[in-house]
Amino acid sequence: MTPFEREWEKMLSGEVYDAQMPEFHERLALARHAMRRFNDLPPLDIEAQHALLKSLFGRIGEKFTVNQPFRCDYGCNIFIGENFFANFNLTILDEAKVTIGDNCFIGPNVSIYTACHPLNARERATGVEWAEPVTVGNDVWIGGGATLLPGVTVGDGAVIAAGAVVTRPVEPYTLVGGNPARFIKKVD
């Protein structure tokens, strides 16, 4: 195993890793190149859009829509189920695994983050970081402008209100909203 492969494994397992290694920057650049190609495709060229995302993501179902523009860090750490819809400006920082279930709908300007940085400025300046996975269950609706922070799990059937900042687990079949997101009510 190369030094980079060891750091990549540390990243995926939630350990502190050296994000300044050149190979990380190269992979980020390759994903940005793919995102530029995706975002520049004609909106009606669904076949090319699907092909590009299927080659980039770890997995995505057969039936999906990802409106342009879309951004991610690596893409290969994103796993999406069937019948997925994402509106404009979805951003996924996938240093750790991001799993999204079936029948999920994401509003515009939603951000999903897995990357974590030290609070101490000197330590942060060294380029070390870690990542925590984000998991979204089946039948979830994430409203426009919502943000999911590292390590959160959203249960099946949950609704995240527009503009919510999700900092902790969301129970199945609940509506949460606010900053930080809090329980509002049960939903069917």
Question: What positions carry a catalytic annotation?
Answer: 117
In the chain, at which residue ranges do the beta strands (DSSP E only) sit? 17-18, 64-66, 70-72, 78-80, 84-86, 90-93, 98-100, 105-106, 111-113, 115-116, 128-131, 134-136, 141-142, 147-148, 153-154, 159-160, 165-166, 174-177, 182-186
As a whole number of angstroms, the distance between CA 34 and CA 69 comes to 12
**134 near 99, Cβ under 8 Å?**
yes
